[in-house]
A = this chain, B = another copy of it.
Amino acid sequence: MGMLQAGNNYQVMPYRDEHLAMDFTQQAVILDSERMTLTRKEYDLLALLVQHAGEIIPREALLMQVWGYSPEIRTRTLDVHVRRLRKKLGGYADQYIETIFGIGYRFQPFHAPRFFRPQVVQPAMAVGA
């Protein structure tokens, strides 16, 4: 059981854009009308990112939410999972999942403007001690 669902049962609207659709109640992800096969962790990670589309989510937050890791733990598993997600997202990968250097990642809806680099929306560890 992923860390995600632990007491986290609020209603979440399905996501949909030109290429990607995600139904959180069914845990179904569809890319260009084909069903994506995701492992548990891959799904949890993508779900978390998509549910916060447009927001930067710090690494620590992702590691906390999906893995239950506290900030001290040093691991590269997040990077590896991001990589596999991107692979499965095919050509849209970098369009969808942005790396925010030194902070974390952000999922962007397909058409979202991408001029710049908005910063972390808030979280405690985003920038400072």
Contact = CB atoms under 8 A, between A and B. Distances in A.
A91 interface: no
Contact of A119 (B26, B120, B128): B26
A60 to B, nearest CB: 12
A115 B27 contact: no
A128 B1 contact: yes
A124 to B, nearest CB: 10
Contact of A5 (B5, B34, B117, B129): B129
B127 A35 contact: no
Interface residues on A, range: 20 to 34
A96 B59 CA distance: 34
Given A2-B128, A127-B5, A128-B1, A116 B27 contact: no
A4 interface: yes
Contacts of A6: 128-129
Given A5-B127, A127-B5, A128-B1, A118 B28 contact: yes
Interface of A: 1-2, 4-8, 25-28, 30, 34-40, 43, 101-102, 115-122, 127-129
5 contacts: A5-B128, A7-B129, A26-B121, A38-B117, A39-B101
